[in-house]
Amino acid sequence: MARVVVDVMPKPEILDPQGKAVQGALPRLGFSGVVDVRQGKRFELELDGEASEAVLAEVHQMAQTLLSNPVIEDYDVRVLP
Amino acid sequence: MARVVVDVMPKPEILDPQGKAVQGALPRLGFSGVVDVRQGKRFELELDGEASEAVLAEVHQMAQTLLSNPVIEDYDVRVLP
């Protein structure tokens, strides 16, 4: 059993309305000092076996085809210890 | 300038329909070997200053009040290197 995390974030040049909404809400709640917020998604996958190179290549395929939209989002795959 | 990540995930005992939808879609796309998927949110905060202990305590406050729903979600705060 291996656990893999796929982080999906909007590309830097893409407008992020969710992040902007959070950023706008923070001062109204009394929080200051946050100059930018980006909101993305985090997937935790539990794999039936070891995180071999072949399996991780398949996770990259999943990230590209299902978990992220490569036009507007970047993703990052990492194995949890 | 410090960058802080807040990961927000559904608590283990909470049903996660988004994760289940992803899990159900994977075999239809030809991917096998994933036994569980949980979907959560990832926030990247850019701070106007250093990530001191006082500032991180404030980020925990933000995570508890705005970024997560503590009844159904767990959160994790970490400083990006």
Put simply, whether A20 touches B (Cβ < 8 Å) is: no
Residue A24 has pLDDT above 90, yes or no: yes
Residue from B37, B61, B78 to probe the interface with A (highest A Cβ count within 10 Å): B37
Q: B68: helix, coil or strand? A: coil
Element (H, E) at B42: strand B34-47
The alpha-carbon gap from B22 to the nearest alpha carbon of chain A, in Å, equals: 8
Are B34 and A48 a contacting pair at CB < 8 A?
Answer: yes
Read off the pLDDT of each residue in A7-36 and give the average, rounded to a whole number.
Answer: 97
Q: What is the pLDDT of residue B1?
A: 86
Put simply, whether A36 touches B (Cβ < 8 Å) is: yes
Contact criterion met (CB below 8 Å) for B77 and B6: yes
- Residues of chain A with C-beta less than 8 angstroms from the C-beta of B25: 66
- How many CA atoms lie within 13 Å of B22's alpha carbon, on the beta-carbon side? 24
What chain A holds in terms of domains, given with CATH numbers, is 2-80 (3.30.1280.10)
Tokens representing B11? 């608590």
Query: What global pTM score does this model have?
Result: 0.94
What does the pLDDT look like over B46-81, one tens digit per residue?
999 899 999 999 999 999 999 999 999 999 999 999
Q: DSSP 3-state helix, strand, coil percentages of chain A (rounded to 5)?
A: 35, 35, 30
Put simply, whether B33 touches A (Cβ < 8 Å) is: yes
Q: What is the pLDDT of residue A1?
A: 87
What does the pLDDT look like over A29-78, one tens digit per residue?
999 999 999 999 999 999 998 999 999 999 999 999 999 999 999 999 99
Tokens representing B63? 């995570």
Contact criterion met (CB below 8 Å) for A10 and A72: yes
Angstrom distance (rounded) from CA B76 to CA B63: 8
User: Does the CA dihedral A29-A33-A36-A38 come out positive or negative?
Assistant: negative
